[in-house]
Amino acid sequence: MADLNHDAASQAAGIDLSQFFQVFFEEAGENLDSMEQMLLALDIENADDEELNAIFRCAHSVKGGAATFGFADVAELTHQMETLLDKLRRHELTPTAAMVDVLLASGDALKAQLARHQGNGAEPIDTTELLAGIRRCVDGGAPALSVAATVRAIAPAPDAAPRTEASPAIATAQTGVRQLELTVGPLSDLAVADNLVDLFKEITDLGTIEPLDAGRGADGMRRFKVTTASTDNDLVDLFGFHVAREQIELKPLSAGYGFHEGAPGAPEPNSQPVDPGYGFFDNAPGAPAEGQAAAPAAAPATIEAAVVARPAARAEKAAAAAESSTLRVSVDKVDQLINLVGELVITQAMLAQNGKGVDAALYQQMAAGLADLERNTRDLQEAVMSIRMIPMSLVFNRFPRMLRDLAAKLGKKVELVQVGEATELDKGLVEKITDPLTHLVRNSCDHGIELPAERAAKGKPEHGTITLIATHQGGSIVIEVRDDGKGLNRAKLLAKARERGIDAPDTMTDSEVYGLIFAPGFSTAEVVTDVSGRGVGMDVVKKNITALGGTVEIDSAEGYGMTVRVRLPLTLAIMDGMSVGVGEECYILPLSSVVESFQVQPGTIKTIGGHGRVVEVRDEYMPVLDLEKVFDVPRFDFERASNIMVVVEAEGGRVALLVDELLGQQQVVVKNLESNYRRVDDVSGATIMGDGRVALILDIGALVRRSRH
């Protein structure tokens, strides 16, 4: 029915509103995420007015957009949330943990409703119990909303019995319910008025509507009797989906239509209810004019609410000004821009290559132009690449809510500490690393952190701590998940491995023993629960991280905690590289991995174990890899030998690479070799050089691992 409303509203207004749906969904998602974070950070005992106002504005923005696009279920739920939040910010109610729970559950239900409207094929969401919980909070009682109820709130709704409208007699007896006369017209098509009736009935608890003219409308005007507790602004916005606002008139029901003064719910003489808090814009029909006072207040609370509303309005205008400084751009457009800049870098490299053979004295202006082009190309590349970079806070901010719910379910007390959330990572990696990190955090809470009583018995604070750390190290980003829980038990891991038939001798190092938890189906949980214990997860975590070109390491101290360290390459489309020559071939080393280079002196390379070779650099021995042998490079100048070493590091290790010559430093455009050719060992990609040749970009991490074996 909501889709029909979309179409009817669009045809009536002559505008296809569906073109704005995606923007609404994105903005609504951002508002719901912001609301969830603010609710989690809310100090219940000393709630700040501005925090409550900000939470209210998030719900208000979602409601306004949902009503505009005809998503009646979303508008209904956010309207009820608004009522509760409005009472909180006006200090008519005192915040409680139960209210935060029901608002968080409402946010989950709203996300599910929005996902359904986006077309995920889910059934309509049953929010009956959730709405009842909000109303109980509004009335000052406990919502009585259990975890099961929260789950039911976002689960598909069963076939519900037909909803019956409340009788006008009962409706008018309720507090704040009014009876109005709605006049619509003149209308060229009287059937449009029937659409108004259908739209009105779509929204639960809005009230009742019935015709006063038996559908005749001889003069092109239709008249209805409306019994509702909604404001004039809400009604005008609702009916405005089908008819122009100037064709809508709302006024107190007159005696000529069977309504008499003094009846239950009758409006006071000369009174016009005003509720600017629910209007979607200033100067909406029914909103008070600037400087014009609303109806006289019957209690001091109304005056207090008016005082609170003024700074909130200023804050909303400031927020609107801040939003205008940003622009939503499709990721496809950003990727296209990056590809074009990459082609520009290749062209600039070609011009620079050809410009080397030109006499700079004769063509001084051209040489200066090429230098400017190189500088401007680099600045442009850095600016464009920064567009795709997203702070890790986007991932980290998902965990406070998850940990709050999980800790409550497990009966544990957990604090989350975030370090380095401003560290930036490419958008593509952020999306793919979220699931593995989520599992690691859940694993720390479930397996690592002990119950409060157990921690107290060990002399630890009852609150366990999970720390998320993101840092840049060389050409990689390192993400750590730490906890101060019980850590890993070496003997227990070895016993479990042997039970599963895994070869696990006592001579294994600690890191090798800890790595056993990545074996498929391996689990140390004593009991299988709906949280963990089935042995599915850690092997998938390692598989996903390895697929991203990263590594995962575990460090643990029994009784003190555990650290899982994820190392990912900064996969950028354009990077700084050092080109080296081996025979007739050219290879690219990521500049961020290069430590130093030096000339090989006789006797500096030593052989160990018959075939392994090492070199001593400032009292440190490191393995030597000859790129000529690694890649079977054909050599036609047989008398020449590689005599230059380049020291590179990755994954905490260093290796010395033997090359023929250093060709220089330059920007290179990374092309995916696997999608264009196939996967090649020890190679992370390819690039096109200025002279048109293809050069391979070496995978330094893979070379370091090769040297270890």
30 and 124 part of one domain: yes
Strands 476-483 and 561-569: antiparallel
DSSP-derived 3-state class of residue 62: helix
For residue 545, count CB atoms less than 10 angstroms from its CB and return exposed for 0-12, middle for 13-18, buried for 19 or more.
Answer: buried
Continuous segment of H or E residues that includes residue 625: strand 620-626
- Beta strands across the sheet bearing 178-184: 207-211, 222-228, 178-184, 248-252
Q: Compare 204 and 495 and report the one with higher pLDDT.
A: 495
On whether residue 317 sits in a domain, the answer given is no
Pick the closest to residue 418 from 361, 491, 468, 351 (CA basis). 468
pLDDT computed for residue 141 by the predictor: 66
CA atoms within 13 A on the CB side of 651: 18
Give the domain-ending residue among 552, 569, 586: 569
Fill in the amino acid letter for 626. Answer: D
CA dist., res. 418 & res. 481, Å (int): 10
On whether residue 277 sits in a domain, the answer given is no
Q: Is the pLDDT of residue 10 over 50?
A: no
User: 11-20, 141-150, 223-232: which has the highest mean pLDDT?
Assistant: 223-232
Q: Compare 502 and 365 and report the one with higher pLDDT.
A: 365
111 and 32 part of one domain: yes
CA dist., res. 534 & res. 520, Å (int): 10
Helix 399-410 vs helix 427-443: crossing angle, to nearest 10: 10
DSSP-derived 3-state class of residue 432: helix
pLDDT band at 572 (very low <50, low <70, confident <90, very high): low
> For residue range 647-668, what is the model confidence (pLDDT) as tens digits?
998 777 889 999 998 988 887 8
CATH number at residue 689: 2.40.50.180
Across 484-573, the runs of DSSP E, i.e. the strands, are 551-557, 561-569
Pick the closest to residue 550 from 565, 564, 569 (CA basis). 569
Q: Is the pLDDT of residue 176 over 70?
A: no
CATH number at residue 209: 3.30.70.100
For residue 23, count CB atoms less than 10 angstroms from its CB and return exposed for 0-12, middle for 13-18, buried for 19 or more.
Answer: exposed
Please give, one letter per residue, the 3-state secondary structure of 395-419. Answer: HHCCHHHHHHHHHHHHCCCEEEEEE
199 and 347 part of one domain: no
According to DSSP, residue 325 is labeled T
On whether residue 446 sits in a domain, the answer given is yes
Domain span at residue 488? 392-569
pLDDT band at 523 (very low <50, low <70, confident <90, very high): low
According to DSSP, residue 161 is labeled P
pLDDT band at 580 (very low <50, low <70, confident <90, very high): very high
pLDDT computed for residue 355 by the predictor: 83
Q: Is the pLDDT of residue 308 over 80?
A: no
pLDDT band at 500 (very low <50, low <70, confident <90, very high): confident
Residue 473: how many CB atoms within 10 A of its CB? 13
What is the pLDDT of the chain when averaged over all its residues? 75
pLDDT computed for residue 159 by the predictor: 37
476 and 552 part of one domain: yes
For residue 328, count CB atoms less than 10 angstroms from its CB and return exposed for 0-12, middle for 13-18, buried for 19 or more.
Answer: exposed
Residue 678: how many CB atoms within 10 A of its CB? 7
610 and 535 part of one domain: no
pLDDT computed for residue 384 by the predictor: 84
pLDDT computed for residue 1 by the predictor: 41
| Residue 87 · residue 135 · CB < 8 Å | no
> For residue range 63-99, what is the model confidence (pLDDT) as tens digits?
888 887 788 888 888 888 888 888 888 888 888 888 8
Give the domain-ending residue among 532, 549, 569: 569
Q: Is the pLDDT of residue 191 over 80?
A: no
Q: Compare 191 and 604 and report the one with higher pLDDT.
A: 604
Q: Which two tokens stand for residue 115?
A: 């996902």
Average pLDDT for 605-609: 79
On whether residue 68 sits in a domain, the answer given is yes
Contacts of 37 (CB under 8 A, 6+ apart): 397, 400, 401
CA dist., res. 477 & res. 462, Å (int): 32
Average pLDDT for 274-278: 37
CA dist., res. 210 & res. 80, Å (int): 24
Q: Compare 674 and 42 and report the one with higher pLDDT.
A: 42
Q: Is the pLDDT of residue 703 over 70?
A: yes
454 and 548 part of one domain: yes
pLDDT computed for residue 531 by the predictor: 54
On whether residue 295 sits in a domain, the answer given is no
555 and 605 part of one domain: no
Q: Is the pLDDT of residue 7 over 70?
A: no
On whether residue 314 sits in a domain, the answer given is no
Continuous segment of H or E residues that includes residue 222: strand 222-228
Q: Is the pLDDT of residue 565 over 80?
A: yes
CA 693 to the chain's CA centroid:
41
Sign of CA dihedral 243, 244, 250, 254: negative
pLDDT computed for residue 522 by the predictor: 67
pLDDT band at 694 (very low <50, low <70, confident <90, very high): confident
Strands 464-473 and 414-419: parallel
514 and 433 part of one domain: yes
451 and 403 part of one domain: yes
25 and 117 part of one domain: yes
67 and 194 part of one domain: no
Number of domains within the chain? 5
DSSP-derived 3-state class of residue 212: coil
Contacts of 78 (CB under 8 A, 6+ apart): 59, 60, 62, 63, 66, 110
pLDDT band at 172 (very low <50, low <70, confident <90, very high): very low
Give the domain-ending residue among 507, 542, 569: 569
DSSP-derived 3-state class of residue 541: helix
For residue 313, count CB atoms less than 10 angstroms from its CB and return exposed for 0-12, middle for 13-18, buried for 19 or more.
Answer: middle
Which conformational region is residue 503 in: left (phi greater than 0), alpha (psi within -120 to 50 degrees), or beta?
beta
Pick the closest to residue 85 from 53, 131, 107 (CA basis). 53
Percentage of the chain beyond pLDDT 90 is 8
Q: Is the pLDDT of residue 147 over 80?
A: no
Strands 207-211 and 389-391: unpaired
Question: CA triplet 617, 643, 691: central angle to 5 degrees?
Answer: 120
- Among 121-130, 149-158, 439-448, 516-525, which is the least confidently predicted range? 149-158
Contacts of 491 (CB under 8 A, 6+ apart): none
CA dist., res. 560 & res. 486, Å (int): 6
Fill in the amino acid letter for 660. Answer: D
For residue 637, count CB atoms less than 10 angstroms from its CB and return exposed for 0-12, middle for 13-18, buried for 19 or more.
Answer: exposed
Dihedral pair phi/psi, residue 407, rounded to 5°: -65, -40
On whether residue 435 sits in a domain, the answer given is yes
Q: Is the pLDDT of residue 200 over 80?
A: no
CA dist., res. 606 & res. 609, Å (int): 10
Sign of CA dihedral 421, 54, 39, 205: negative
pLDDT band at 160 (very low <50, low <70, confident <90, very high): very low
On whether residue 231 sits in a domain, the answer given is yes
C-beta pairs of 136-143 under 8 Å, 24+ apart in sequence? 137/84, 137/93, 137/96, 137/98, 137/99, 137/102, 138/80, 138/83, 138/84, 138/87, 138/93, 140/93, 142/96, 142/98, 143/98, 143/99, 143/101, 143/102
CA dist., res. 145 & res. 98, Å (int): 8
CA dist., res. 168 & res. 179, Å (int): 9
500 and 579 part of one domain: no
pTM for this one? 0.53
pLDDT band at 481 (very low <50, low <70, confident <90, very high): very high
pLDDT band at 563 (very low <50, low <70, confident <90, very high): very high
Fill in the amino acid letter for 178. Answer: R
Q: Is the pLDDT of residue 485 over 60?
A: yes
pLDDT band at 346 (very low <50, low <70, confident <90, very high): confident
- In order of 319, 320, 384, the CA distances from 324 in angstroms are 9, 6, 21
Q: Is the pLDDT of residue 446 over 90?
A: no
CATH number at residue 411: 3.30.565.10
pLDDT computed for residue 453 by the predictor: 92
Q: Compare 63 and 306 and report the one with higher pLDDT.
A: 63
